[in-house]
A and B are shown apart, each in its own frame.
Chain A
């Protein structure tokens, strides 16, 4: 079974493993919603999900979600409230892990979801921050999931919507007053990048089965930093795959 899975399923499994039992997780949409459901049914049955619309849950929704505000996500919630209350928890350090999507990420983990090119005359106008910048600045740690393409993994983003480790210098976040610890990992369709404690540049941690370091180098817009050892990402377990596939419609 382990050799028959998609790269998206592997990403979801890897993301789920970032959730520790008992964590409060700022969930978001799409793949992270699946990752949260997988974590709950495998290793983290006591993780709570917080949604910026103003919801907290301890169980995945009972039916397909197109957005976090859909009725199945509200039924059975632990808390339905206003957004500023969910943000208040995050400012107090009560959010252990956040998930953020992005169009572009750079080697310091900064995300751009606003403008490709000059903001005054953008080549592409992206939808904007949503809650992304808030999660990036205020949650204790966060991860981002992305299709591994050269145009998405760029040396430096042209616009920092959601700050990671800024200019990559040690302690950049602390010096600039950002509360949380910043990006812990970039999970892509090819590999997992991680960041050193205290900030800095992403290094290649593991490569997904069937892919190579050379392939990662080729598809990445910066000179990839490779640690002393590069492991292989653990493939999804049978339990993880079962949990993912029971909610397939949501990917």
Chain B
């Protein structure tokens, strides 16, 4: 399925969307940029540390609520669009449900396990309890209310057309986000035959019944890294941090890298893919699934 179609069909206005679930790698920037091009509105973004993607969606006016542990630019610091939205209501006001990394994971596990909340000791003594209505205390514990995304969008190394996705490296909250979500959109570096994915069922992230779209989108996580495929483009994050410092600077950044770019393939023509591609491969030993 094309990115345009996947976003059109499965991420309507008003959706609660989990993205950036691996924290700093595998961030689905291509999907986020398509949301911006389709002028999506009133989204609730759910994530741990989503690197700069949430900042871009907020600056583009796509977002009405953020349910996350952190919004900024991991290697550069503050998220300038996030600041403008929260401090000045530019482009408009934002509702913020603060979490920690652990509590957003628990909120998603609660939804995945279909319970109203999960108890934890994290956040005891934190003022996050005062600002997030989805957190309560009782019996000496914090109760983290379930957060059920309408859709989780994940970028992975490879997937087959049936939606069986293989991802490797640290997963952050990728599993609970997909299990909790009503549906999952997978974007992948490589679209592979099912004989590849089914050769290692332990590595399949979700049951195929959860996955509604598989988009073959090489380079779809740039500037974030993809283990075995792409290094992190540190300079790109730096440039974004500098340009997004002002609303005008962000607008020209957005025009150049998102609005004037029809698709990911065209986007990739403007970056040095050659320098970013990982060339020294380190393959794991295959696991033997023999049965007789």
- Chain B CB within 10 Å, residue with most, of A52, A122, A133, A161: A133
Name the one of B24, B79, B99, B171 contacting A82, with C-beta atoms under 8 angstroms.
B171
Interface string of A33-57 (1 = CB under 8 A from B): 0000000000000000001111100
Nearest Cβ on chain A to B177's Cβ, whole angstroms: 10
Cβ-based interface call for A176 (8 A)? yes
* Interface size in chain B (residues, C-beta < 8 A): 64
Decide: A80 and B168 in contact? CB cutoff 8 A: yes
Decide: B128 and A133 in contact? CB cutoff 8 A: yes
Nearest Cβ on chain B to A111's Cβ, whole angstroms: 10
Name the one of B69, B75, B87, B127 contacting A66, with C-beta atoms under 8 angstroms.
B75
Considering only residues 55-90 of chain B, those with a C-beta below 8 Å from chain A are: 68-72, 74-75, 77-79, 82-83, 85-87
- Chain A CB within 10 Å, residue with most, of B82, B103, B232: B232
How distant is the Cα of A172 from the Cα of B125 in the complex, in angstroms? 9
**A residues within 8 A CB of B278?**
71
Nearest Cβ on chain B to A37's Cβ, whole angstroms: 17
**B residues within 8 A CB of A51?**
170
Cβ-based interface call for A68 (8 A)? yes
- Chain B CB within 10 Å, residue with most, of A126, A138, A173, A179: A126
Decide: A130 and B24 in contact? CB cutoff 8 A: no
Decide: A87 and B122 in contact? CB cutoff 8 A: yes
Decide: A81 and B170 in contact? CB cutoff 8 A: yes
Decide: A124 and B83 in contact? CB cutoff 8 A: yes
Considering only residues 64-84 of chain A, those with a C-beta below 8 Å from chain B are: 66-71, 74-75, 77, 80-84
Cβ-based interface call for B176 (8 A)? yes
Cβ-based interface call for A162 (8 A)? yes
Name the one of B171, B227, B282 contacting A54, with C-beta atoms under 8 angstroms.
B171
Decide: B109 and A129 in contact? CB cutoff 8 A: no
Do A130 and B100 contact each other (CB < 8 Å), given the known contacts A69-B22, A124-B83? Answer: yes
Cβ-based interface call for B131 (8 A)? yes
Considering only residues 178-221 of chain A, those with a C-beta below 8 Å from chain B are: 178-179
Decide: A53 and B170 in contact? CB cutoff 8 A: yes
Closest residue of chain A to B24, judged by CB? A69
Decide: B102 and A134 in contact? CB cutoff 8 A: yes
Decide: B131 and A67 in contact? CB cutoff 8 A: no
Decide: A166 and B83 in contact? CB cutoff 8 A: no
Do A84 and B125 contact each other (CB < 8 Å), given the known contacts A66-B234, A127-B72, A177-B140? Answer: no
Closest residue of chain A to B51, judged by CB? A67
Do A67 and B75 contact each other (CB < 8 Å), given the known contacts A161-B128, A176-B124? Answer: yes
Closest residue of chain B to A86, judged by CB? B170
Decide: A54 and B69 in contact? CB cutoff 8 A: no
**A residues within 8 A CB of B127?**
114, 159-161
Decide: B78 and A126 in contact? CB cutoff 8 A: yes
Name the one of B23, B25, B125 contacting A178, with C-beta atoms under 8 angstroms.
B125
The binding surface of chain A is classed by DSSP as loop
Decide: A69 and B122 in contact? CB cutoff 8 A: no
Decide: A130 and B173 in contact? CB cutoff 8 A: no
Do A129 and B174 contact each other (CB < 8 Å), given the known contacts A75-B282, A160-B125? Answer: no
Name the one of A55, A124, A133, A177 contacting B100, with C-beta atoms under 8 angstroms.
A133
How distant is the Cα of A49 from the Cα of B85 in the complex, in angstroms? 36
Decide: B70 and A133 in contact? CB cutoff 8 A: no
Nearest Cβ on chain B to A109's Cβ, whole angstroms: 12
Decide: B128 and A177 in contact? CB cutoff 8 A: no
Decide: A114 and B82 in contact? CB cutoff 8 A: no
Decide: A161 and B126 in contact? CB cutoff 8 A: yes
Nearest Cβ on chain A to B286's Cβ, whole angstroms: 17
Cβ-based interface call for B101 (8 A)? yes
Decide: A53 and B121 in contact? CB cutoff 8 A: no
Closest residue of chain B to A121, judged by CB? B87
How distant is the Cα of A119 from the Cα of B68 in the complex, in angstroms? 15
Cβ-based interface call for A29 (8 A)? yes
Cβ-based interface call for A60 (8 A)? no
Cβ-based interface call for B10 (8 A)? no
Nearest Cβ on chain B to A112's Cβ, whole angstroms: 8
Residues of chain A having any CB pair with chain B under 8 Å: 29, 51-55, 66-71, 74-75, 77, 80-84, 87, 91, 114, 119, 121-134, 136-138, 159-163, 166, 172-173, 176-179
3 closest pairs, A vs B, by CB?
Answer: A69-B24, A127-B72, A54-B170
Residues of chain B having any CB pair with chain A under 8 Å: 22-25, 48-49, 51, 68-72, 74-75, 77-79, 82-83, 85-87, 96, 98-103, 105-106, 109, 120-128, 130-131, 140-141, 168-176, 224-225, 227-228, 231-232, 234, 237, 278, 282
21 contacts between A and B (CB under 8 A): A53-B172, A66-B75, A69-B225, A71-B227, A71-B231, A82-B171, A83-B170, A84-B176, A87-B122, A125-B85, A125-B96, A127-B79, A128-B98, A130-B70, A130-B101, A133-B126, A134-B103, A163-B124, A172-B125, A176-B124, A178-B125
